[in-house]
Structure 1
Amino acid sequence: MHFIQWGEIVKAFAWFIAVYMVIVIIFYSVILLISIFQLRKKYHLDRDQIYEDYLEDIYTKPVSILVPAYNEEAGIIQSVRSLLSINYPTFEVVVINDGSTDGTLEKMIEHYDMKEINRVVRKQLDAKPIKKIYQSTILTNLFLIDKENGGKADALNVGLNFSHYPYFCSLDGDSVLEQDAFLKVMKPIIDSNEEVIASGGSVRIANGCQIQNGYINKIGLSHNPIVIMQIIEYLRAFLMGRIGLSRHNLLLIISGAFGVFSKHWVMEAGGYKVDTVGEDMELVVRMHRLLKEKKLKKKIVYVPDPVCWTEVPEDIKFLRRQRRRWHRGLFESLWAHRKITFNPKYGSIGMLAFPYFWIVEFFGPIIELAGYIFMVLCLLFGGIYIEFAILLFLLSCIYGSIFSMSAVLLEEWSLTKYPKVSDLIKLFLYSLTETIWFRPMTVLWRCEGVWQIVTGETSWGEMKRKGVSE
């Protein structure tokens, strides 16, 4: 009797996991189709569109580029150099040194001949005190703020208090932008007559590329399998997930590595929240919530074409820390605004976007990990359980590898950032192996992030960078 009951429980659990994975696969299939049609439409209409008109001051909006920097001496000079050479009529670059303990401050002052200036900063957002403000004598649109350490969100709030222009871009200190990236990411804001209040661009991985003096000389792949798998992940996240969600104004994340925001609406929302590890997502969610509560038809969009190249972890230890942090940040953003979930007052954000992020993005790794454990046990028990194991394995292959392969094909079909055929073949072949080794690792790390939430652990540790520019 007990054996029968146990067998029924095992069978029910197996079908729960199988049905969950089928639902997720259907959802991603819909997102993939939306992304294909959106890319097809965009690149038929806009791929050859000339952006010269947007180089005129009368068409564009001035932008403040905020670069929070903590121990970024390895790449800060090259990153700033790439920013100063962008094709955009009016902009300023504001580097916020967040109490670095390395030579970030000294390198900036020396390289750009920066002198201390007296400037009254209106404190619209609470933040740690500013020690000194510098301005370059060579380039008058380059500023450096030295402040007490308070974290990335606090540094961005200081930059917002100081900035002069109506739009701002938050950019990581180790990032390198393509020259036309700002023209393209600002285009939907300009064309919409300010109906679009935030616009995010694509982020690609710089490890393996030849970057000199802040310029992309040659796009290539790293030889490190960990980096290659992250490239595939980024392609799937940006070319599939964000295009599909953006199409229906359901985008809850604009990458902290590259995004442009209306300063007015960010200030209205209260700036960046300093007590979360996912400040970029939390801000976007709060802006959506503000707009819905004010019943305003504003949009937050993703633009696949603008590209920002950034460094990613090459060591499993640091990648593990990153993924645990990301998952904690996801939970903090969702939990802080949990009243939105299944709340018709917030429209499609409450009825579609939030349930998706709860069910698929947050709880997904827990269910997947249970599925992996269940598959192993099924193989050990034998009999009918082997059929369940095969079913779950096939579903996980569809869930992981096939969608990853699709993302690689979308990259080649639309953006073609990787010019060598051998690189694309390498990405395609690696994507076939994702389900076997890489995805189980990331699932485990994300579950560790859940455990940190349960236990209240807040340790993070530093992410060491070697710099991607020569």
Structure 2
Amino acid sequence: MTLLDLLLAFNQFVLGYFVVLNTVYLVLYAVSFVEVADHARREIFSGLPELFASAYSPPVSVVVPAYNEEVTIASSVRSLLTMRYPLHEVVVVNDGSKDRTLEVLKETFGLREADQPVRMQLRTAPIRGVYVSPTERLIVVDKENGGRSDALNAGVCAAGHPFVCFTDADVVMEEDALLRVARPLIESENVVAVGGIVRVANGCEIRDGRVVEVRAPRNPIAAFQVVEYLRAFVASRTGWSRINSLLIVSGAFGMFRRRDILNFGGLEVDTIAEDMELTLRFHKLYKKSGSKYRVVFIPDPVAWTEVPSTLRVLGRQRDRWHRGLIETLVRYRRMIFNPSYGSVGLLGLPYFLFFEFLGPLVELAGYVALVVSLLLGVLNTEFALLFFLVSVGWGSFLSLAAVFLEELRLRRYPRWGDLGKLSLYAVAENLGYRQLNTVWRVIAMVSYLRNKKGWGEMERQGFDDPEGEQTLRRM
């Protein structure tokens, strides 16, 4: 077989790869559409007011790790404290911040040092102090830096309620967020973890820790990410949840039973993908125990987060995300194709292996091979056009479908202009932005092989001053 024959065969392989990948996406979208439609119908009889008034709703501890979050911490904590729930507390863990995060909390909420020490049921970096608010249900744990997982473990130890909700200091939740995400846990003992949807806050008007007007971002980089988040959460995780193969309960918004976190040894501190690692550990341990269980995703619009607005920071984020994916797949490699783990082992993990992990490598190699083949005259124009339609055209259709699934069922963008803008970005992301993400993820593979560690830094503008100066924090 000549080199030209190999090029032709590889291009045909990549074309088939895109067909299979997009077909899987279509199936997930169909499942998600049914699930979101059912969820919307159930919401009519949701009984949220009754749940809010019920004395049987278990109390919730909202755990917030914070590292150099002085810009957003006050708004975030304020929004968490004012959520509608029968009884909840907020536990902020200051993970050795080098800025004024702790001082801002002390000044804003009048903190005083607590008399009672935290009972440390999990091993963490040393605790320097514990503070409480005299007027709010707020606990602040000040500790030496140990990383996000270490901070969450300290927060779980300090939590006083049976449900724990993990979120970030740069997240603003909607008023009924806790009610919605806690409901599956309240309604069924078989539900062991619930993930809520995370939305892009860039461009939205936020006052006093609340989103008062939803708008599409003016920044094109942030706007591309709105489409990505809709595709990943509304049109993908909803489908995986339906077949109990959800592999990630987002660290930005997820709820668990505190006893499970403690019984399973807390979050792993030697990983940069603690949310995926914890979710897979739940699947593994519950499957081994033979218990009936479910890991659930809620498609309600409940949590808003600020996303990167520069390519430099976005590239670092995607590098970390992909390294975390590789790390977790390696850690749980014995579950892949293992029928003992049901749909997780036979569907969820193989999908992430072939399409999320290896996908960027195949896609980038396919683009290079296509260009070389066209230059050498190996491929005709018809094949090149078919390749473009399958990889770019089909991808654009899927992104548009995610935007319109949001509009048909969840309707969070009231302006037609915003929907029009997002529709344009859904098409445009396949003409450069997607390819750039592919490059970043391939670079992440190299970074993983070189044993790169760390989270990198993230620029935050802050919710109350969206046009203000950006500050740096660790991601």
TM-score interval for Structure 1 and Structure 2 normalised by the shorter chain: over 0.9
Q: Is the 8 A contact 1:272 1:279 kept in 2?
A: yes
| CA offsets 1:189-241 (integer angstroms, 9 cap, x no match) | 1112x210111111101110010110111111111110000000000001111
Which AA in structure 1 matches 2:89?
A: E
Residue of structure 1 equivalent to 2:195? 200
Which AA in structure 1 matches 2:422?
A: L
In the TM superposition, what are the counterparts of 1:240-279 in structure 2 within 5 Å? 240-279=235-274
1:449 aligns with 2:459: no
Give, in whole Å, the separation in 2 of the partners of 1:42 and 1:158.
35
Give, in whole Å, the separation in 2 of the partners of 1:66 and 1:137.
19
Give, in whole Å, the separation in 2 of the partners of 1:121 and 1:112.
20
1:458 is displaced (CA, Å) by: 2.1
Q: Is the 8 A contact 1:116 1:135 kept in 2?
A: yes
In the TM superposition, what are the counterparts of 1:397-408 in structure 2 within 5 Å? 397-408=392-403
| CA offsets 1:376-405 (integer angstroms, 9 cap, x no match) | 223322353544332221111244211110
Runs of 4+ in 1 over 3 A off after TM superposition: 47-50, 385-388
| CA offsets 1:246-289 (integer angstroms, 9 cap, x no match) | 00110000111111111112222221111111011100001100
In the TM superposition, what are the counterparts of 1:140-159 in structure 2 within 5 Å? 141-159=137-155
Give, in whole Å, the separation in 1 of the partners of 2:268 and 2:320.
16
| Correspondence for 1:380 among 359, 375, 381 | 375
Give, in whole Å, the separation in 2 of the partners of 1:401 and 1:317.
25
Residue of structure 2 equivalent to 1:135? 132
Which AA in structure 1 matches 2:291?
A: L
Which AA in structure 2 matches 1:290?
A: L
Instruction: Name the SS for the 1:46 alignment partner.
Output: helix
Residue of structure 1 equivalent to 2:2? 5
Instruction: Name the SS for the 1:334 alignment partner.
Output: helix
| CA offsets 1:348-367 (integer angstroms, 9 cap, x no match) | 11111110110111111111
Q: Is the 8 A contact 1:266 1:287 kept in 2?
A: no
Instruction: Name the SS for the 2:431 alignment partner.
Output: helix
Give the TM-score, by structure 2 length. 0.96
| Correspondence for 2:163 among 167, 170, 179 | 167
- Cα RMSD of the aligned pairs, angstroms, is 1.3
Residue of structure 1 equivalent to 2:37? 40
Which AA in structure 1 matches 2:265?
A: G
Instruction: Name the SS for the 1:292 alignment partner.
Output: helix
Which AA in structure 2 matches 1:226?
A: I
Question: Which range is displaced more, 58-67 or 247-256?
Answer: 58-67
Give, in whole Å, the separation in 1 of the partners of 2:454 and 2:178.
35
In the TM superposition, what are the counterparts of 1:174-323 in structure 2 within 5 Å? 174-192=170-188, 194-323=189-318
How many residue pairs get matched?
465
Give, in whole Å, the separation in 1 of the partners of 2:161 and 2:379.
65
Give, in whole Å, the separation in 2 of the partners of 1:185 and 1:47.
16
Give, in whole Å, the separation in 2 of the partners of 1:446 and 1:460.
15
1:306 is displaced (CA, Å) by: 4.3
Which AA in structure 1 matches 2:167?
A: L
1:459 is displaced (CA, Å) by: 4.7
Residue of structure 2 equivalent to 1:66? 63
| CA offsets 1:137-190 (integer angstroms, 9 cap, x no match) | 121x10111000011110000001111111101110011000011111111111
Q: Is the 8 A contact 2:60 2:161 kept in 1?
A: yes
| CA offsets 1:403-454 (integer angstroms, 9 cap, x no match) | 1100000010111111101100110111111111110011111111111011
Residue of structure 2 equivalent to 1:52? 49
Q: Is the 8 A contact 1:376 1:389 kept in 2?
A: no
Q: Is the 8 A contact 1:374 1:389 kept in 2?
A: no
Give, in whole Å, the separation in 1 of the partners of 2:15 and 2:448.
27
Give, in whole Å, the separation in 2 of the partners of 1:189 and 1:460.
32
Which AA in structure 1 matches 2:270?
A: D
Give, in whole Å, the separation in 1 of the partners of 2:63 and 2:393.
40
Q: Percent identity?
A: 45
Which AA in structure 2 matches 1:119?
A: Q
Give the TM-score, by structure 1 length. 0.97
Give, in whole Å, the separation in 1 of the partners of 2:233 and 2:308.
18
Consecutive unaligned residues in structure 2, runs of 5 or more: 466-475
1:469 aligns with 2:464: yes
Q: Is the 8 A contact 2:11 2:370 kept in 1?
A: no
In the TM superposition, what are the counterparts of 1:16-35 in structure 2 within 5 Å? 16-35=13-32
Instruction: Name the SS for the 2:414 alignment partner.
Output: coil
Give, in whole Å, the separation in 2 of the partners of 1:306 and 1:63.
20
Instruction: Name the SS for the 2:460 alignment partner.
Output: coil
Give, in whole Å, the separation in 1 of the partners of 2:44 and 2:413.
17
Q: Is the 8 A contact 1:128 1:148 kept in 2?
A: yes
Consecutive unaligned residues in structure 1, runs of 5 or more: none
1:457 is displaced (CA, Å) by: 2.1
Give, in whole Å, the separation in 2 of the partners of 1:146 and 1:123.
14
Residue of structure 2 equivalent to 1:107? 104
Give, in whole Å, the separation in 2 of the partners of 1:388 and 1:122.
65
Instruction: Name the SS for the 1:433 alignment partner.
Output: helix
